[in-house]
A = this chain, B = another copy of it.
Amino acid sequence: MNAPHTAPHLLPEVHTRAVPAALLEALQARFCAQFSSALVVREQHGRDESAFTVPPPAAVVFAQNTQDVSDAVKLAAQYKVPVIPFGVGSSLEGHLLAVQGGISLDVSRMNQVLAINAEDLTVTVQPGVTRTQLNAAVKSTGLFFPIDPGADATIGGMSATRASGTNAVRYGTMRENVLALEVVTASGEVIRTGTRAKKSSAGYDLTRLMVGSEGTLGIMTEITVKLYPLPESVMAATVSFDSLADAVNTTIQIIQMGVPIARCELLDANTIRMVNAHSKLSLREGAMLLMEFHGSPAGVQEQVETVQAIAAEFGGQTFEWASTPEERTRLWTARHNAYFAGIQSRPGCKAITTDTCVPISHLADALLDSVTEAQASGLTYFLVGHVGDGNFHVGYLIDPDKPEERVLAEKLNHQLVHRALKLGGTCTGEHGVGLHKMDFLVTETGAGAVSMMRVIKQALDPDNILNPGKIFKL
C-alpha cells in the first residue's frame, strides 16, 4: 500500500480487492509463459503517463487472440476480480492504474492488421496495433489513418478513450472513425457491433457506446476504422504572432469561415522558449500557429490564400511554408517536441495536463484567462492546443515531492475546467475521464446523466470487474 494520502481529494482512492491464489494458479495453468506475476512486469503495467502512483496489479496476462481475452475475463469473472486492459501505457488520466487491484490484460501482442479493404476505405485491426504500425501497413494502398494522439498509442487504447489529435479538425475523432468492433463482455462472451457499411440505423449504437468507455464496458478485440485517400497536395505553414490573443482570434476566424483546414495547432511564447532550449532552435519567441492544408493543388492554394489574409489582419509574421514531407517535418518540429520539451524543462517533474474543449467562439475566453492564471501562479507550465477544435492542453509541471505544488496545479486546473464548462465546453476533449476528472464529469453533464452511465455499467458488468473505479464512482 502507498503512504497515506495527504490530499485525498487530489489523489485516487485505492481499495484493492483480494486476488485469490486459486485465480492466479488457474491463470498460470491456462496461460503459462503468457502469464507473469513478477514485480517488474506488474510495476510496468501499474503506471501510465498520469501523475498518480498506486500499487501495481497482482499479475499480468499477455493475450494473443480473442480467445485468450475471453478466457482471462471468464476466469476473473469467476472470482469477481478486476481486469484492466493495457496497450502501450500511454494514458494520461490513470486509466491503467489498478486502483481496485486485479489483473492487467496486456493486448499489445494482439498486433495483427487483419483486413485492409482499400476499395471501401476501411481496415480491421487487433487492438494492440499502434497508429504508426497501421499507417505503415496501409501505406502502399495510397490511404492513411489520420487520428494521431501525441503518443504512438494503440488503436485499442485510442478507441477506449475516444482519442483524437492534430488531424481531427478535418477528419474527426475516434467517435467518427470507428465503424465496427468485436468486444469481449464482462462475462467473457464475444459480441460484434456495427458493420463495414458507411451508415446504419440498426438498433442501439453499441459501437459508439464502447468507444470512449475506457475499458469499463467491454474489452475490444477487433476494431474496424475508416481510412482516407492520401491528399494529392499537402502544404504546412507556421506563423508567429505578437500576442496569444492574435493567434487565437486568427484560429477562430479560420474555423468560422469554414476553411477545411486539416491541422491548426498553437504553442504559446513560453512553450516556444522550452522548445528552443530543448531542440536548439531559434524560433521567434511569440505565439505560434502551426497549420496544414490537405486537398487538390487548387484547393490547397485557395485555403492558403484565405488563411494568409486572416493571419495578416491579426499581425501574423514570419510565415514559413513547406510542401515536401521533409520540410513539413522540420517545420512541425516545435509541435512534435513540445510535450517532451515541456517535461524536460523541469527535470524530475510530473505534468498535470488539462484537456478542455469549448465551442470555437469561446476559445479566446477559455484560453487567455487560463494562461494568465498559469503565468501568475509561478508554476512552470506549457501550452499546446488543437485550437482548430477549440481544444487545448496546459501542462502544469509539478515536483511530485512537493504536495503544495500539486495543490496549486489542481487549483489552476479546477479554475480552467470550470471556466470551460461555463462556456458550454467539456472537461476532456480527447484524454478521457479516468481517475482525474470524475468530479468534473458530474459538473459538466449533471448527476442525472452520470447516474444513467452508472446504471448502464451495472447492467453490463454487475460485478464491476472491467477497469473498475474509472469515469465515475459506483
Contact of A201 among B161, B195, B196, B208 (CB under 8 A): B161
Q: Given A185-B452, A198-B360, A448-B189 in contact, is the A256-B119 Cβ separation under 8 Å?
A: yes
Q: Measured between alpha carbons, how far is A452 from B193 in the docked complex, in Å?
A: 10
A128: chain B residues at CB < 8 Å are none
Q: List 19 A-B contacts (CB under 8 A).
A: A119-B360, A162-B200, A175-B205, A185-B452, A189-B448, A190-B448, A192-B448, A195-B445, A196-B424, A200-B429, A202-B427, A202-B440, A203-B433, A204-B209, A204-B217, A206-B453, A228-B258, A296-B299, A455-B459
Q: Given A205-B212, A208-B208 in contact, is the A197-B359 Cβ separation under 8 Å?
A: yes
- Within the complex, the shortest CB–CB distance from A267 to chain B, in Å, comes to 20
* Interface presence of A472 (CB below 8 A): yes
* Interface presence of A419 (CB below 8 A): no
A202 touches B296 (CB 8 A): no
**Contact digits for A209-221, partner B, Cβ 8 Å, 1 yes 0 no:** 1011100010000
Q: Given A196-B359, A424-B195, A445-B192 in contact, is the A201-B452 Cβ separation under 8 Å?
A: no
* Interface presence of A456 (CB below 8 A): yes
Q: Given A191-B446, A299-B298 in contact, is the A203-B453 Cβ separation under 8 Å?
A: yes
* Interface presence of A444 (CB below 8 A): yes
Q: Measured between alpha carbons, how far is A203 from B95 in the docked complex, in Å?
A: 12
Which of A119, A211, A295 has its CB near the most chain B CB atoms (within 10 A)? A119
* Interface presence of A432 (CB below 8 A): yes
B390 touches A203 (CB 8 A): no
- Within the complex, the shortest CB–CB distance from A431 to chain B, in Å, comes to 6
Q: Which 10 A-B pairs have the closest CB atoms?
A: A459-B459, A191-B448, A229-B258, A200-B426, A208-B208, A119-B361, A120-B359, A197-B357, A162-B201, A197-B426
A299: chain B residues at CB < 8 Å are 295-296, 298-299, 302
Q: Measured between alpha carbons, how far is A184 from B385 in the docked complex, in Å?
A: 36
Closest to A299 in B: B299
B204 touches A453 (CB 8 A): yes
A119: chain B residues at CB < 8 Å are 256, 360-361
Contact of A445 among B193, B211, B432 (CB under 8 A): B193
- Within the complex, the shortest CB–CB distance from A259 to chain B, in Å, comes to 10
Q: Measured between alpha carbons, how far is A390 from B197 in the docked complex, in Å?
A: 7
B199 touches A389 (CB 8 A): yes
A199 touches B433 (CB 8 A): no
B360 touches A120 (CB 8 A): yes
A431: chain B residues at CB < 8 Å are 201
A424: chain B residues at CB < 8 Å are 195-197
* Interface presence of A441 (CB below 8 A): yes
A428 touches B200 (CB 8 A): yes
Q: Given A296-B302, A433-B202, A460-B452 in contact, is the A425-B197 Cβ separation under 8 Å?
A: yes
A199 touches B212 (CB 8 A): no
A361: chain B residues at CB < 8 Å are 117, 119-120
Q: Measured between alpha carbons, how far is A168 from B198 in the docked complex, in Å?
A: 10
* Interface presence of A50 (CB below 8 A): no
* Interface presence of A358 (CB below 8 A): yes
A201-B428, A296-B299 known, 14 other contacts, Cβ within 8 Å:
A119-B361, A175-B205, A190-B448, A195-B445, A198-B390, A199-B389, A202-B426, A202-B441, A202-B444, A204-B471, A208-B209, A209-B209, A298-B302, A459-B459
Q: Measured between alpha carbons, how far is A456 from B210 in the docked complex, in Å?
A: 13
Q: Measured between alpha carbons, how far is A295 from B449 in the docked complex, in Å?
A: 39
Q: Measured between alpha carbons, how far is A397 from B173 in the docked complex, in Å?
A: 42
A203 touches B212 (CB 8 A): yes
A446 touches B204 (CB 8 A): no
Closest to A207 in B: B208
- Within the complex, the shortest CB–CB distance from A264 to chain B, in Å, comes to 12
A258: chain B residues at CB < 8 Å are 228-229
* Interface presence of A60 (CB below 8 A): no
* Interface presence of A116 (CB below 8 A): no
A191: chain B residues at CB < 8 Å are 446, 448-449, 451-452
B453 touches A195 (CB 8 A): no
- Within the complex, the shortest CB–CB distance from A463 to chain B, in Å, comes to 14
Q: Measured between alpha carbons, how far is A198 from B429 in the docked complex, in Å?
A: 8
- Within the complex, the shortest CB–CB distance from A46 to chain B, in Å, comes to 23
A449 touches B192 (CB 8 A): yes
A204 touches B212 (CB 8 A): yes
* Interface presence of A450 (CB below 8 A): yes
Q: Measured between alpha carbons, how far is A43 from B431 in the docked complex, in Å?
A: 50
